[in-house]
Amino acid sequence: MPVKIRLQRHGKKGKPYYWIVAADARAKRDGKYLEKLGAYNPNTNPATIELDVDGAVKWLQNGAQPTDTAKALLSYKGALLKNHLAGGVRKGALTEEQAEKKFATWLEEKTGKVDAKKEGLSKAEAEAKAKAFEAEKAANEARIAAAAPVVEETVAEEAPAEAASNEEE
């Protein structure tokens, strides 16, 4: 029974939401699966990925083949790296502690990059809101200024007429 790690689509039309599952390769895309490993939501920015890394590594060690998209997601979350490090431990190239330390440092770096991206996106969003607010403020001032001269002109026209009548007397 060849096992694949693949995506199973859920969600409504135009708003996909995926489960990351280990399934028999012969099963339908959204059909029966052996184990749910996580979830992937591409609708958020950055995309939300929840993954049971240890479960994915277990399936990879048992011979499950990830699809292209699932492989990218597993790589992004570090499951492929952890599998690689586990292979090094089995061969004797690394100790378990060294492998865990390498994985933990990689995970910290990755978390830092994701947090930096989120911070950059929120900063850009705040700047866009501020710019839109300033543009709206300028448009409101222009609209008020366009309406105000009509009132000022009538007052200005009456004032010279009164001044002229005062001069004649």
pLDDT of residue 118: 87
Indicate the pTM of the whole model.
0.71
- Condensed to tens digits (0 to 9), the pLDDT of residues 42-70 reads 998 888 999 999 999 999 999 999 999 99
State mean pLDDT over 2-9.
Answer: 94
Alpha-carbon span 19 to 70, nearest angstrom: 10
Given pLDDT bands bounded at 50, 70 and 90, which one contains residue 80? very high
Q: What percent of the chain has pLDDT over 70?
A: 87
Listed residue (37, 69, 71) closest to 54, CA to CA: 37
63 — alpha (psi -120 to 50), left (phi > 0) or beta?
A: left
- Condensed to tens digits (0 to 9), the pLDDT of residues 148-163 reads 765 455 555 665 655 5
pLDDT of residue 169: 56
